[in-house]
Structure 1
Amino acid sequence: MLEGIAFLSEKDEVLKKIVADFGFPIIQKRDEGFAALCHIILEQQVSIESANACYVKLQNHLGEINPENVLQVSQEELRSFGVSRQKSVYLKHLAEKVASQELVLESFRVKSDEQIREELLKLKGVGHWTIDVYLMFCLQTPDVIPLGDIAIKNTIKELYDIHALEAMEILSKNWKPYRTLASYILWHYYLKKRNKI
């Protein structure tokens, strides 16, 4: 991380100041695989706390969050754990694809980010934000900027006065090949300013 921090601090005064003011960001590491992708789907457009509560209820009921167990549980039961109707469809669809081996998550270790993105975009309810988070947290991919994330977008708007998505993408090119670390620094600022960590 130190090498990345040094690189970003030299390239970008804003990121340098965040690290100086708030310290190093927390780097998230999650397990890879089906359960992790289910967890990220549950996190779409809701608070982390709400998604975690839902995930824990699901885990307690199923014992293990795997494709077979998700396929066996009814949509009504999923709803009773706080899973929305839409997300229950997404989880079932993901379970079907993994169970049939149309999607082999273990193969991602030897695939490019572009190949992974192409495969995951075929799934119901999986967009770029979900893929970005999986790449960053589970696969530890070093050069991802999740511009679909509201906290990242709002922080860039606040600190750089950049409001267009295209301009944010251009800005992020200054951070290559450490855009994941830059994203963690921006999240760190966002949470610290709101006393969430």
Structure 2
Amino acid sequence: MGEQSLSQPFPHPHPHPLSPSPPASAAATPPATALAVSASASRPKKKPRSSGSNPAPKKPRLVPSVRGRPLSADGEVDAAIRHLRAADPALAPVIDAHDPPSFHCPHPPFHSLVRSVLYQQLAFKAAASVYSRFIALSAEQLRQIGVSARKASYLHDLARKYASGILSDDNIVAMDDRSLAAMLTMVNGIGAWSVHMFMIFSLARPDVLPSADLGIRKGVQMLYGLEDVPRPSQMEKLCERWRPYRSVAAWYMWRLIESKAAQTAAAPAAMPVVPPAMPAPSEEFMLQQHQQQHHHQHQQQQQQAAIQMLDPVQMLPGLG
């Protein structure tokens, strides 16, 4: 996962239903256990090693990272762009070719999570229509507006976790990246990719790397001229220099892929050249020319469709 901050337990007034407290009987030590403890305490302690022996190497102590300011804060995107220019000169041409990103989401976290579930595997217009009707209806009417039984179960699970206090808009905003990812992936229907998109475009978290996203991996391949698309396990090392603004760099990777696809689609098709000494084209030649033009138009339509599929912002509209 792209998040590297350490998980810290989030205090909550209600006991966590997934982590029940041990029964009271387990708190008291039974007599047999007390005897075992007493016997172990009476054993002679091991002598410390002399200074001449080689001590075991100490494990590095992990220090929890501090979550940065959200990208929606004033001046934070500008600071991210300055850092990325200095840290990775290869990004400078990509940054210069596009307007700066904006990370302002008008929706509360719960609505953004609902949208991420409803928009799964649906075209933009169809999903937008379902969502607009969903806002005004009760849970019992979900099926009537086109929400599948599986998605309805996902939404019910999300709503139950909100109703029970496991999740809330306030604690979602307060949690660090790793803790938030662990909590949200407990909701049925919300996976790691959806969590990363939610963190970037709804919460404006600055240092999220969706390392499994194919668009970002292809962008890294193009940026550094790699022979193969990097594996998700390789992305952390390749993108290390982008910290602590990997969310912004990921946004530019999507733009890089989008611009390359647009350039390919806009490239003029090569037309056959007829030697001037030849007579007028025959019917067979005209038929071949027409077929070639039809083939090029079909390729352009496929490339244009590929552009729309590469952008996660279009796949999850409303998150940013």
TM-score range, shorter chain: 0.7 to 0.9
TM-score of the superposed pair, with normalisation by structure 2: 0.51
- Which residue matches 2:158? 94
1:8-55 C-alpha deviation (Å, 9 max, x unpaired): 112223321111223323435342321111111223355555433432
1:191 aligns with 2:191: no
2:185 — aligned with what? 121
Could you tell me how far apart the structure 1 residues matched to 2:192 and 2:127 are?
A: 18
Partner in structure 1 of residue 209 of structure 2: 145
Tell me which of 84, 107, 112 is aligned to 1:36.
112
Residue in 2 aligned with 1:168? 235
TM-score by length of 1: 0.79
Identity rate, percent: 26
Partners of 1:153 and 1:45 lie apart in 2 by 21
Q: Does structure 1 conserve the Cα–Cα contact (< 8 Å) formed by 2:101 and 2:251?
A: yes
Q: Is the 8 A contact 1:22 1:192 kept in 2?
A: no
Q: Could you say which residue in structure 2 is the equivalent of 1:66?
A: none
Whether 1:110 aligns to 2:174 is yes
The count of aligned residue pairs is: 185
Partner AA of 2:208 in structure 1: V
| Shift in alpha-carbon separation, 1:93–1:28, aligned structure 2, 3 A | same
Q: Pick the structure with greater CA Rg.
A: 2
Amino acid at match of 1:165: P
Deviation sequence 1:57-101 (CA, Å, 0-9, x none): 323x42xxxxxx33x334x22xx43x3443222112111221232
Gaps of 5+ in 1: 63-68
Matched, 1:17 2:93: yes
| Aligned partners of 1:44 and 1:130 also within 8 Å | no
Q: Is the 8 A contact 2:112 2:202 kept in 1?
A: yes
Match of 1:73 in 2: 141
SS of match in other structure, 1:22: coil
Unaligned runs of 5+ in 2: 1-76, 263-307, 309-313, 315-320
Establish whether residue 178 from structure 1 lines up as the match of residue 254 from structure 2. Answer: no
RMSD of aligned Cα (Å) = 2.5
Contact 1:120 1:126 in 2 (8 A): yes
